[in-house]
Structure 1
């Protein structure tokens, strides 16, 4: 018998959205409120993502936000989904997450990606000398060395000797292969790179080598989910995320826009095709509709965990969406 939604973990991916007319202070309060609610509803972990120079996303100082969320919750695992390692000196990340784990022992995850999480000009402003991400394996090795207790000339204090779970994130086969070779858990960005999902998961499982961390592969997949009382309302709410993707395609990122009755006057046919292609795995609808979509995706991916992103304009509607989804996992 295959897995069902009750056999896997449900988690949250939060971009700390800033809706039109709002600000970062409100975004952080909404993220904390969401974290407190999903902790009560039985979600497993809560990750925030590093993005830069985006008016609608407030999670750029990812480690700082993780500390804020961890302080306001008690049992929920809090982490990064992810830290874009090429943006940072590995020692700095070891110290930051060593500090977080010392404050909140056993509750901190370190999810790592190799993309800049921004455009090239912003990447340069972050003092990235290398643009391709090809040295990600070396950066990862350096980072992991700081958590070890082996003798070394430079030490991460706090950080050294701490057992902080590391997850590799990816939207292609590069990190899938690396995660498999190192025996690390792998999280795939199906929520914006759906066409690469199955090839990457296949590569991860085929290249997996048991390690001190894992005996067998562990797969997380990201999904966009908008749940509401009925399909029509959910489709309406989801137009905010469609507009957010459209703004990225046009290279005019903006604050999160309110939902609209129809997207037809906003995008052209080519833009519609691109946005719908990127959002093809999204689960949008009533609880029954979302259940069917999630179960179908579970059967295709054989995932161990879903990490769900609900990117809607109204905070109370975002809470309600996660509450509806939580009932599928109980």
Structure 2
């Protein structure tokens, strides 16, 4: 904690990266994975704390559906940055399979793997059913989580489990709960686990969820006090005007989701207002209202304000930018202004 009367300074906390391995218009997944590795190597060089991959399915603009495989790709191509899931959508999977996959990753890359877990499917219900025939809507997430944790630490099992996760058993893989509402905030607090909030698409619930997590937190063998990481969209460029233009790619992504028109990530446009209705503009604001867009000076001021409001222990930056070089440059700017 600094002497800043408002609390923490940007230089007081770690910054991390969330990547969806975006597929851009005219591109393909192979190019997306090359870009992901290049960004991960840059993030490591710039001193980012961790690099997480998000699980989504049946989305033409996201290549990271086989999340554990992409994590292995990134971990193998880097040397020290923590690599993990942001997150694995547990209702899509057998807990045993996830224990084995992350046990394998931790065995290959000791001390570098994080397991972030979400209870949403990360897709539509039809695709969720195709992923796992006995589709769960997430109501049994606490039971799934307990089963998964017991594979890593059999002492947590209520009774002897004759099924073992090998690799997995006995490994200390940090488990995070991800959320965009109060459910995971409360559960992670009760279990004494670190919590990551998705402010990048659920800004309205950020402060209530963080307050619930901190006020309900119960110390555990994992943590003696709350640890909250907050995800936020950051689009940084040399000027406010260029950043605003780059931001229209992210706006189009969410606009296409609203319209049910799922396509690869679109190039930026000069004026987003020409593409959207008043209702759609309000909907975009509800989902993207916490986005930080601008020049280095603008982004630094907005990031500090965001930190003042959230008092986050760590900030995870998401930059959905069409041009890969501009995306790399955005993360370079964030690194420079947060040191």
- Shorter-chain TM-score tier: over 0.9
1:53, CA displacement in angstroms?
0.1
* Greater Cα offset, 250-259 or 159-168: 250-259
Question: What is the rounded CA distance, in whole Å, between the counterparts of 1:280 and 1:260 in structure 2?
Answer: 19
Asked if the contact 1:86–1:128 (Cα under 8 Å) also holds between the matched residues in 2, the reply is no
Tell me what 1:158 maps to. Answer: 167
Q: Which residue of 2 aligns with 1:243?
A: 252
1:42: Cα distance to partner?
Answer: 0.6
2:289 matched residue in structure 1:
280
Deviation at 1:47, TM superposition (A): 0.3
Partner of residue 26, structure 2: 21
Are the aligned partners of 2:238 and 2:295 in contact in 1 as well (CA < 8 Å)?
yes
Aligned to 2:176: 167
Deviation, structure 1 residue 269: 1.0
Partners in 2 of 1:115 and 1:149 — Cα distance?
26
1:194 and 2:199 aligned:
no
Matched, 1:292 2:301: yes
Gaps of 5+ in 2: none
User: Which of structure 1's runs of 4+ aligned residues deviate more than 3 A?
Assistant: none
After TM superposition, the structure 1 = structure 2 runs for residues 61-140 of structure 1, keeping only pairs within 5 Å, are 61-140=66-145
Q: 1:177 aligns with which of 186, 201, 206?
A: 186
Equivalenced residue count is 330
Given that residues 90 and 142 in structure 1 are in contact (C-alpha distance below 8 angstroms), is that contact kept between their aligned partners in structure 2?
yes
Structure 1 residues 235, 128: closer, same or farther in 2, change over 3 A? farther
| 176-185 or 256-265, larger mean C-alpha shift | 256-265
- Specify the SS of the correspondent of 1:6: helix
- Say which of 3, 7, 10 aligns to 2:12: 7
In the alignment, is the contact (CA less than 8 A) between 1:17 and 1:57 conserved in 2?
yes
Q: Quote how far apart the aligned CAs of 1:303 are.
A: 0.3
Counterpart secondary structure, 1:19: coil
Q: Which deviates the most, 141-150 or 211-220?
A: 141-150
Give the direction of change, closer, same or farther, for the CA distance of 1:131–1:266 in structure 2 (3 Å limit): farther
1:114-168 residue CA offsets vs partner (Å, 9 max, x unmatched)? 0000001101111252443111000000000000144520000000000000000
Q: Which residue in the other structure is 1:32 paired with?
A: 37
In 1: Cα distance, 2:75 partner to 2:61 partner: 23
CA contact (8 A) 1:87 1:128 kept: no
Map residues 43-62 of structure 1 onto 2, 5 A cutoff: 43-62=48-67
How far off is 1:277 after superposition?
2.1
Match of 2:220 in 1: 211
Unaligned runs of 5+ in 1: none
Pick one of 141, 148, 160 that aligns with 1:143: 148
Q: TM-score, normalised by structure 1?
A: 0.99
**Which segment is superposed worse, 145-154 or 297-306?**
145-154
Q: Give the TM-score normalised by structure 2.
A: 0.96
3-state SS of paired residue (2:238): coil
RMSD, matched Cα: 0.9
2:233 to 224, 238, 243: 224
Segment of structure 1 superposing worse, 146-155 or 269-278: 146-155
Find the residue that maps to 1:25 and give its secondary structure: helix
